[in-house]
Structure 1
Amino acid sequence: MRGLFLLFVVMPVLELWLLIQVGGQIGGLNTIALVFLTAIIGTWLLRRQGLKTLLQARTKMESGQMPAKEMAEGICLAVGGALLLTPGFITDAIGFACLIPGLRTALIALVVKNLHVQTVHTQSFNSQGFGGQSYRRGPAGQSGDIIEGEWEPSADQPKGHIDQGSSSDR
């Protein structure tokens, strides 16, 4: 709730105050020209970085890899582009940080580091009664991830038989 207050009330007030201060120093028309210039430069950078990220993602997908880094960068680029189109110098500074590759990587690492893991407990009915199950959501690569794939029985297993493994495997 506090984050939304900062985003929708405090940020526009700070932006307006800064625009007035800059306008007082360099003049109103120059301030407006500067806002347009940052939007134009930001759009140009967004187009270049976005195309580069898209090509990297395509290359990874063609080689059979998951383009997770490129997807995160794409989200960061979209946020940066939106911030650069918003009039103001604070949002422009954050937007440019999203478009500069080294800073973008640092921002993504900061966001991933601060992700919260959430555990969801469910109750299901099975032949023995109610049983609980836990699902863990968190950053990729941790235990509890769901892996999709195809399965075919080996020649020595009868059709329809699924080896459940021992209880220590689960």
Structure 2
Amino acid sequence: MRAILLLLLLYPLLEIATLVTLAHHLGGGVVFLLVVASSLLGIWMLRNQKLGALLTLSSVLRQGQQVSLYSLLWPLRYALSGLLFAIPGILSDLLAILLLLPFKGPTLQNVASPAGMADDVIEGEFSRVEPKGQDQPPRLH
């Protein structure tokens, strides 16, 4: 718990240090424009989050049976990277870029396929027994 608290306290200091260092090397105006541009990109991504879901759906339809776990999590990664772009700072921008990289993950079998459903069938019989009195609920035998 202390490590998470320490990271939360150090993160803004690291962001400020990277911004100051970058401003020293590139100039304050360039860094300011970079921060404003990344924030606008993040806001645009959060507004157009439906695009991420649409891209995931089209990818799943094109792949057929094989679906990657990372492609199913694409809308979540897209929204989180938009939020990280909206936060001013260089480290958050780098994390957002890492989230947008197309990683290949383990494939999942399509659950709705007929081959996958054949093993999940449980066969059985039942008969309904009518109650003899009014106060007994119906039972299955």
TM-score, normalized by length of structure 2? 0.58
CA 1:77/1:36 → structure 2, altered by over 3 Å: closer, same or farther?
Answer: same
Match of 1:88 in 2: 89
Give the counterpart letter for 1:158 in structure 2. F
> What percent of counterpart residues are identical?
25
Provide Cα deviations, 1:116-151, integer angstroms capped at 9, x if missing partner.
Answer: xxxxxxxxxxxxxxxxxxxxxxxx99xxxxxxxxx9
8 Å contact kept, 1:42–1:96: no
CA 1:59/1:11 → structure 2, altered by over 3 Å: closer, same or farther?
Answer: closer
Bigger relative contact order, structure 1 or 2, given CA contacts below 8 A and separation 6+?
Answer: 2
User: As a proportion of its length, which structure holds more helix?
Assistant: 2
8 Å contact kept, 2:52–2:75: no
* Structure 2, unaligned runs of 5 or more: 110-120, 128-139
1:29 aligns with 2:29: yes
1:4-19 matches, within 5 Å, as 4-6=5-7, 8-19=8-19
Separation (CA, whole Å) in 2 of partners of 1:68 and 1:57: 13
- Give 3-state SS (helix, strand or coil) of 1:101's partner: coil
Separation (CA, whole Å) in 1 of partners of 2:27 and 2:70: 42
Larger radius of gyration: 2
Separation (CA, whole Å) in 2 of partners of 1:45 and 1:72: 16
8 Å contact kept, 1:80–1:98: yes
Match of 2:74 in 1: 73
Give the counterpart letter for 1:57 in structure 2. L
Separation (CA, whole Å) in 2 of partners of 1:56 and 1:71: 6
Match of 1:100 in 2: 101
Provide Cα deviations, 1:14-72, integer angstroms capped at 9, x if missing partner.
Answer: 110111111122222221101122234455567778614434337859x9xx9965442
Root mean square deviation of aligned Cα = 4.0
CA 1:153/1:26 → structure 2, altered by over 3 Å: closer, same or farther?
Answer: closer
* Structure 1, unaligned runs of 5 or more: 113-139, 142-150, 162-170
Separation (CA, whole Å) in 2 of partners of 1:99 and 1:49: 13
User: As a proportion of its length, which structure holds more strand?
Assistant: 1
- Give 3-state SS (helix, strand or coil) of 1:158's partner: coil
Match of 1:51 in 2: 51
Residue-pair matches, total = 114
Separation (CA, whole Å) in 1 of partners of 2:42 and 2:5: 25
